[in-house]
Amino acid sequence: MRKLSTWKLKLRMFLATALLFGIIYAILIAIGAFMGFGGPLFYALLGLGIVFIQYLISPKIVELTMNVHYVTEAEAPRLHAMVSELAMNAGIPKPRVGIAEIDVPNAFAFGRSKSDGRVCVTRGILNLLDEEELRAVLGHEISHIKHSDMIVMTLVSAVPLICYYIFWSTLYSRDDDASLIGLAALLAYFLGQLIVLFISRTREYYADQGSIEIGGQPHKLASALYKLVYGSARFDGDDLKQIEGAKAFFLNDVTDARNEINDLKQLDMDMDGTISPGELQRLKYTGVRVGAGARILELISTHPNMLKRIQRLSEFT
């Protein structure tokens, strides 16, 4: 297995994050120049305050939304053993281990910091994946904790929120300068949202790579992703809507699963429902066919296109 360099991923995330905070810095400078420090600045500070509160209470919100209960080693020895080993390999404290009583197969990580990390699996994934596939999935989630993705995404998500509050505060102003700042804030809001989504997709690639580096097998992670798409597609829209607000935490975009099925058929050559080492290695040389529509939809998604994501895993074989 060839270890891939992470500098390109890190550079992309750094530049995108720098651009985000450059946007908010420029808007606040404009506010100071044209309007003093009243008005929109208050809403900018309000936005920061809301993000800070969100950071504090978000673990509890996730627990309630996803119906999480934490399990002891006696209740889930196999799950605890895998999490302990992977956390040790990643060099982080062992996260708390939980099960979400949700039938849609998936897993997620959350928490305020590395020492406060929590890794959870849904009931559905335990009935779908084999042990090595589950191990690769847990490695992905533990990598999110190792990379402090929870904190990073909370911080970068603050920028569009602040821009939105600034725009809203100038919406009914009769001052031309304020209106210009509001328009700039609105444009920055939409641009900021696209950049946040880009950072989110990049961090998914980074977590995939982290899973391989701490003990997951590339073809097992590819198979797990493949199975998760098919597993999610079995559920109707009403079931998926209940967890749509938390889909950014998952390994894949569960609401887009049905659209991804047809594309994924080109991966499983023997149609046995898994991705073998040979099938994954073949992608390294043949590539994948991603339609124009799928490429456009990817721009507004929290997760990378699944075909492109699995093809990148082939580079580790």
Q: Which residues are catalytic?
A: 141
* 119 in Cβ contact with 141 (< 8 Å): yes
